[in-house]
């Protein structure tokens, strides 16, 4: 799989402008999957209430992403506020043909954030098959729990994608926690953050693609950037054979 992680620096921009910048970033890369940040469609730190900006999983945001996906021949994962029976902090994957492949609802709000009053919690993990790999989805705060990545790995995931909105106060999450999650579960991990500033907040940037042995294959700086890495199932198998954490964890 040819994997891309798009670190957007689109603070203050509307959805159409965000799409235009993603369109430009994807041009010429021939990706199987591109992963965008948490609440990419609207921005995370914004003045409006995300509940007022919500759209169904097949609504306005999905339509715009689907056009890009078909134009570039790549699946695209992106964060957005989902309007359903309640409003959710969601991330969807649209296939290269424009069809909705999966929709994940964040299961736990980031503590002390507006999410606690703006969004309902999702109820289940999300997995799908794409380009010959089993892909699991999580959003931001979910990856800070060891159980999230372990559950994905035990469910057969080769790749865990994590849209996020991490600010500069928490570098330990991107630099220490994320590589550890990949290493301790023997899976690929794609961590897609925002860059630059939005409202009165500065994002860390630091998006990354981590291999199943914990090596950081690509790391973004503080601004807008597209990371690209070829990933494969063979390295997952090798990592899990070398260190059989998934086998041996049942004895603890």
The residue from 36, 82, 115, 140 that is catalytic is 140
Q: Is 106 annotated as catalytic?
A: yes
The residue from 36, 38, 198, 224 that is catalytic is 38
Q: Is 36 annotated as catalytic?
A: no
Q: Is 233 annotated as catalytic?
A: no
Rounded to whole angstroms, the Cα distance separating 147 from 157 reads 14
The residue from 106, 115, 144, 224 that is catalytic is 106
Active site residues: 38, 106, 140
């Amino acid at each position: 799989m040819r994997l891309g992680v798009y670190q957007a620096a689109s603070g203050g921009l509307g959805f159409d402008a965000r799409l235009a910048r993603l369109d430009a970033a994807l041009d010429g890369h021939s990706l199987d999957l591109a992963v965008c940040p948490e609440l990419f469609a609207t921005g995370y730190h914004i003045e409006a209430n995300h509940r007022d900006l919500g759209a169904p999983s097949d609504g306005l945001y999905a339509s715009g992403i689907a056009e890009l996906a078909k134009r570039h021949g790549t699946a695209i994962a992106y964060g957005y506020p989902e309007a359903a029976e309640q409003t959710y902090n969601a991330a969807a994957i649209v296939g290269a043909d424009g069809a909705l492949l999966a929709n994940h609802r964040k299961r736990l709000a980031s503590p002390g954030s507006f999410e606690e009053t703006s969004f309902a919690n999702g109820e289940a993990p999300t997995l799908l098959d794409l380009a010959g790999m089993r892909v699991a989805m999580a959003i931001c705060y979910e990856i800070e729990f060891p159980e999230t990545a372990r559950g994905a790995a035990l469910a057969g995931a080769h790749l865990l994608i994590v849209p996020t909105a991490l600010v500069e106060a928490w570098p330990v999450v991107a630099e220490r926690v994320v590589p550890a999650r990949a290493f301790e579960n023997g899976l690929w991990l794609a961590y897609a953050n925002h860059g630059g500033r939005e409202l009165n907040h500065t994002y860390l940037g630091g998006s990354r693609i981590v291999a199943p042995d914990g090596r950081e294959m690509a790391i973004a700086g503080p601004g807008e950037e597209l990371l690209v890495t070829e990933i494969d199932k063979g390295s997952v198998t090798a990592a899990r054979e070398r260190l059989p954490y998934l086998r041996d964890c049942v004895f603890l």
